[in-house]
Structure 1
Amino acid sequence: MDLLEFPISYAAILADVAEEYGANRNQLLHSVKIKASDLADANQRITTEQLQSLIVEAKQLTNESALCLYFGEHLTLTAHGVLGYALMSCHTIQQAIDLLMKYHRLLFKDITLSAHQDSQHIEVEYQRRPQALLGHNDDCELFFSGVISSIKHLLHRDDFECEIYLDYPAPPHVDQYRALMGNAIYFDSDTCKISIDKQWLDEKPVYANPVMLQMYERQCDQLLAQMEASTGLEEKVRSYLIASQQFASLQQTAEHFHMSTRTFRRRLEEEHTSFQDILDSVRQQLAETYLRDPSLSVQHTAELLGFHDVSNFRRAFIRWTGISPAEFKKHL
C-alpha cells in the first residue's frame, strides 16, 4: 500500500457531497478515471493527484465555493481508516488530541500540527503545507471543518464549541463557515489554529474502548514505521534539520546518514534537489514561524537560524520571500 495515497472512501464521500450540490456523479468520477464499482472496494486507494483533480472538478461542476467545508464536514472518522478507529476508541477528547498529534502524518504526510496547552485551553496549530493539497484556504476549510465534525461525532453532541483562527481574510462564503463551525471564527490571524476550552478535554467519546485502542495504536505504529522507511532522503534531511535546529553542514549531515558527501549529493540530485535547497527551505519555514512571534526580534531570529550576522539573514530572507524580515513583521 502506498501511504502517499488516500482511501477510496474519500472519493466516495466527495462524490456524494458533489452530487448533493448538483454535480453529475458519473461525470465527476469519469474525469479522474475512477469507476463507480471501485467505490465499493475498501482496499482501493486513490492518488494525491486524483484527489486534487476530483475536488477541483467537483467545485467546477457544483459551482459551490464552500465545497471543501462540506467535504470536511462529511469525512467520517471511519473514512480515515485505522487512525479514525483509534480516535473513536479513545477514553477522552484529550487522549484523542494527543493521538492526533502523534499520528496525523498518516492522514496528510506533509502537514505540520503542534499543540499548546494552558490552564484554560488547548490549542492545535495548523501550519501551512510546503506544497498545498489544493490551496492554503481550501486545505484549511477541509482540515478545520473535518476536525470539528469529528469531535461532534466522537461525543455525539452538536453543542460542541471552540474558537477557530485563520490567517487569511474572510471569504465571500463566510456564512457557511459559521454555519458549520460556529460564530467564534477569527480571520486575518497570525496563525491557523483551533482553541478548545479545557471543559471539553475530559469528555468521553461514546465509542471509547481501551482494548481496541491498544490494537489500533499498534497498527498505527506499524503504518508510521512503513511511511518513514519509504520516505525519500529529502524528507529525512528536512526532518533531521528541523529536529536538530543546529543547521549542520553538508558533511555533518552526510555523516549522520552514514554516507560520503559525494554519495549524499548524488542521492539528493536523484530526487531533483540539493542540500542547500533543503537548508534554505527549512530556514525560511522556521524564520517565518519565529518572525510571527512578537517576542522575538529580527536579531534573535537570525541567531536562532544560525546566522552570525543579521545582515546576512536579511539578504537571505529577501532572496527567499522578496521582502525583508522587518517588512514581514510589519505586515503581520
Structure 2
Amino acid sequence: MTQLERTTSSNWALAIVQALELEGLVGKDLFATLGMNHELLADPDARIPQDQMTRLWELAVQLSNNPAIGLNMARVIRPAHFNVVGFALLSSTNLREGLARLVRYQRIIGEASDMSLLQSPDSYTMELHIHGDTVPAPRQSHDAAMAYMIAFFRWMTGEQIVPLQVSLAYPQPADISSYEALFQCPLVFGASIYSMSFAREVMDAKLASGNTTLAQMHDQFAGDYLARFEQTRVTHQARQVLCRLLPQGEPKRQSVASALSMSTRTLQRRLQEENTSFQHLMDETRRELAMQLLRQRRLTLLEVAYLLGFADPSNFFRAFKRWFGMPPGQYREQHLESKMPNLNDTGDPD
C-alpha cells in the first residue's frame, strides 16, 4: 500500500538553508546537487518531503565537515520560520503556554516531528523525536530543532534562558564546546530520547508580548490550517501515536483512535481512504523504527524488540526476517558495523 510522504514546511526549510549558509555553503547549489526545487523556499504554502531534508543535512555535513552544523539554527531566528505557529507563540501568556502551542501545532512546521510536553513538580520537559520516511532522520535535524527552540525562547523573553538539562540521543562527540556555548547547562549524550528541561518558574513567567486576544486569533488561524492539512493525513497522525505507544506494548486500535479523538470505525475508514489499514500501518511503523533503533549500538536486540512493542522477542525476530530477509543482528552487522563511520550517528569515527 502506498504511504503518504511526511513533509516539512518551506518556512522551516528556509531557516535550515539560512543556517547552512552560515557555514559558507550555498543553498541553491545544495538543492541543485540533490535535484531539489529551490524555488519552493519562496512559497510559504509549499511542503518539502522529509527524506529530501534528511539528504540536505547529510550533504551539508559532508561538505562542511561539521557534524554540529544543526546548532547554527540558533542564529537565524524569525517567527515566520514557524509559519503561523511562530506568531501564536509570541502572543502566548508564558513559555509554558507557548510550548504547549508548539506541541499542538507541530505538524504545521514538520510532519516528521513527534513532540510532547511532560510536567513534574519542579520542571517541564520537552521530548522530541523526528522520524524519517525511507531513511532515518539525522541527528542534525534534532540539534536544529532544539537549538532553534532555546534561541527562540531567549529572543521572546529578552532573557538568557538556561535549560536545566539537555539530553541528546547519540554518543558524545570529541568536541562539545559548541553545545556548551549554546545551551549553557548540563548535557547528557547517549540518552534514550532527545529532550530539554526547564524550571517551572522560567516557563510560568509572564511574557511582555503576551496577548490573549491575539493568541486566540492565531489559534484560529493555526487550527484552520491544520484542519485543512489533516483532512488526508490521518495516516501520519496515527503513525505518530503508534511511535509514542509502542514502547508500552503493542497498541490497540481503540487506544490509537481515542488518542486521535475518533471512533475505531472512523479511524479504520480514514485509513482506508488513504490506502492503508491499521495493521499495515503498525507493521510499517515498526519496520521503520527498527531501522532507526538498530543504528543505536548501545541498544541490545531484546531492548529493540521491547521498544517496538513486542512482548515476545521471538515475534520481533520473525517479523524482522520477514521485513529484511535476515535476522536483526545480521542486519546491524551488514548495514552499520561494516560501513565507514557515519557522522550522523556519532560525529566522530568509531
TM-score by length of 2: 0.67
The DSSP-based 3-state class of the residue aligned with 1:189 is: coil
CA change 1:56–1:306 in 2 (3 A) is closer
Cross-structure match for 2:128: 126
- Give the Å deviation of 1:13: 3.4
Distance 1:265 1:35 in 2: 32
2:286 counterpart of 1:278: no
Unaligned runs of 5+ in 2: 258-262, 294-301, 321-326, 330-350
Aligned to 1:201: 203
Q: In 2 relative to 1, CA 46–192 (structure 1 residues): closer, same or farther, beyond 3 Å?
A: closer
Structure 1 residue 111: Cα displacement: 2.4
Choose which of 84, 95, 98 in structure 1 pairs with 2:97: 95
| 1:276/1:75 CA distance change after superposition, 3 Å | same
Give how far 1:116 is off. Answer: 2.0
What are the Cα deviations for residues 112-160 of structure 1, in whole angstroms up to 9, with x where unaligned?
Answer: 2222212211112223626487634223212211221121121112243
Change (3 A) 1:239 1:257: farther
Change (3 A) 1:109 1:265: closer
Aligned partners of 1:86, 1:58: CA distance in 2, in Å? 31
CA 1:239–1:168: 2 relative to 1, 3 Å = closer
- The answer on 1:59 being equivalent to 2:58 is no
The alpha carbon displacement at 1:168 in A equals 1.9
* Residue correspondences, number: 296
Kindly indicate whether the alpha-carbon contact (under 8 Å) linking 2:74 and 2:148 is maintained by their aligned counterparts in 1.
yes
Paired residue for 2:339? none
Q: CA deviation at 1:110?
A: 3.2
CA distance in 2, matches of 1:139, 1:50: 12
**Cα distance in 1 between the residues matched to 2:132 and 2:9:** 22
The reply to whether residue 212 of structure 1 matches residue 214 of structure 2 is yes
CA deviations 1:155-180 (Å, max 9, x no partner) are 11224333101232112342211111
Equivalent residue letter for 2:252: F
2:269 pairs with 1:256: no
Compute the displacement of 1:316 (Å): 1.8
The answer (yes or no) to whether the contact 1:155–1:205 under 8 Å persists in 2 is yes
Q: 1:257 aligns to what SS in structure 2?
A: helix
Q: Secondary structure of the equivalent of 1:230?
A: coil
TM-score by length of 1: 0.71
After TM superposition, give the deviation of residue 62 of structure 1 in Å: 2.8
* Deviation at residue 279 of structure 1 after TM alignment: 5.0
CA distance in 1, matches of 2:70, 2:104: 25
Match of 1:109 among 111, 117, 123: 111
The unaligned stretches of length 5 or more in structure 1 are 290-297, 308-312, 324-332
Do the aligned residues in 2 keep the contact of 1:126 with 1:193 (CA within 8 Å)?
Answer: yes
Superposed, 1:101-180 pairs within 5 Å as: 101-127=103-129, 129=131, 131=133, 135-180=137-182
1:19, distance to aligned residue in structure 2 (A): 3.1
Larger Rg: 1
| 3-state DSSP of counterpart to 1:122 | strand
- Tell whether the 8 Å contact from 1:265 to 1:275 is kept in structure 2 after alignment: no
Cα RMSD, aligned residues only? 4.3
